[in-house]
Amino acid sequence: MLKRISALVLAGLTALAVTSCGSGSGGTTSASSGGGDSTVTMGFSQVGAESGWRTANTKSVQESAKTAGITLKFSDAQQKQENQIKAIRSFIQQRVDVIAFSPVVESGWDPVLKEAQNAKIPVILTDRAVDSKDTTLYKTFLGSDFIEEGKKAGQWLVEEYKDSTDKVNIVELQGTTGSAPANDRKAGFQEVIGADTKFQIVATQTGDFTRAKGKEVMEAFLKSTPDIDVLYAHNDDMGLGAIEAIEGAGKVPGKDIKIITVDAVKDGMQALADGKINFIVECSPLLGPQLMDLAKKVVKGEEVPARVVTEETTFTQDQAKQALPSRQY
């Protein structure tokens, strides 16, 4: 009996230790939300706080959990896969009802997803996909079609240069290496512009979805690559950092170098309205309400669609001016 009690105490302490792992490694923090039916507990592992999009996404998830009466255990992985794996293991130990996460990169998830499956805890992918062949490892994937976003960026460019036969030199700021949005936005864009050889990507590098990296990489592009016509940045933040670099080099963003970005967060939309960006493909971060709805259903054992695609649009400079006053994020 005494042995059994000691074992239980030890198991409890271990769970506690995992729960409070150091904040530097993306420790799990627990926030209980009020209101409604609070029988569902969700463990949510967020990528980090790398961009305006991410901040808006976190707010959407936290507020929607509160509204839905779901208790949210929220963990920030600081853009590190190992932190996300640790957080998911901690959620399993805490026996949450459902795990949701936005995978920082696409590969390497099968072992931890199998652990969740063995523990009979359903998993929902939100925002980003994994490349697991075994799709039974998660119940559904809620988020944007990143390939389509890349295609929309390419289609705008093709239209913009339809009357020109000159070569168009493009530099590309990629998102986090190995992440679904970086892979897919690149592929979709390439598929569209690849049909015409006048479009050439003359330099491409990751800016890790951050403003600081976007600026740093663009500064290097400007030094190493003469005659840049177009910048394609996989998100607004990198585009905004690049604008600083372009202005620092004495060039006019939006005119000397045309700029296409993805997201349509407020700062990006402001730069678009100001003429510094030429076109933005929207990627909505407001996934919280749909996520909570799906979570309640999977916990009840109800069928959910395997894929839920977010509705999105695109913005020109004039459209940005109109949309800005009511933009939520």
Which parts of this chain interact with ligand AHR (CB under 6 A)? Answer: 50-51, 53-54, 127-128, 181, 209, 235, 237, 262-263, 283
Query: Which residue, 152 or 296, has its beta carbon nearer to ligand AHR?
Result: 152
For β-strands 98-101 and 140-143, DSSP reports them as unpaired
The CB-of-38 to ligand AHR minimum distance in angstroms stands at 29
- Asked if residues 146 and 176 have their Cβ atoms less than 8 Å apart, the reply is no
Q: Helix, strand or coil for residue 250?
A: coil
The CB-of-54 to ligand AHR minimum distance in angstroms stands at 5
Half-sphere exposure of 115 (CA within 13 A, CB side): 14
The CB-of-149 to ligand AHR minimum distance in angstroms stands at 8
Q: Helix, strand, coil proportions of the chain in percent (round to 5)?
A: 45, 20, 35
Query: Which residue, 262 or 295, has its beta carbon nearer to ligand AHR?
Result: 262
Query: Which residue, 38 or 270, has its beta carbon nearer to ligand AHR?
Result: 270
What are the φ and ψ backbone dihedral angles of 168, each rounded to 5 degrees?
Answer: -115, 115
The CB-of-158 to ligand AHR minimum distance in angstroms stands at 22
CA–CA separation, 58 vs 81, rounded Å? 18
Tokens of 55: 């901040």
CA–CA separation, 25 vs 10, rounded Å? 23
Query: Which residue, 40 or 100, has its beta carbon nearer to ligand AHR?
Result: 100
Query: Which residue, 76 or 127, has its beta carbon nearer to ligand AHR?
Result: 127
The CB-of-108 to ligand AHR minimum distance in angstroms stands at 17
Q: Which residue has the tokens 């969700």?
A: 42
User: Would you call 311 exposed, middle or buried from its count of C-beta atoms within 10 A (0-12, 13-18, 19+)?
Assistant: exposed
The CB-of-138 to ligand AHR minimum distance in angstroms stands at 16
CA end-to-end distance (rounded Å), the chain: 56
The Cβ of residue 30 has, within 10 Å, a number of other Cβ atoms equal to 14
Query: Which residue, 229 or 263, has its beta carbon nearer to ligand AHR?
Result: 263
Query: Which residue, 104 or 168, has its beta carbon nearer to ligand AHR?
Result: 104
The CB-of-50 to ligand AHR minimum distance in angstroms stands at 5
Query: Which residue, 74 or 161, has its beta carbon nearer to ligand AHR?
Result: 74
The CB-of-314 to ligand AHR minimum distance in angstroms stands at 14
Which residues in the chain belong to E strands, given as ranges? 28-31, 41-46, 71-76, 98-101, 123-126, 140-143, 168-174, 199-206, 230-233, 258-263, 279-282, 307-309, 314-315
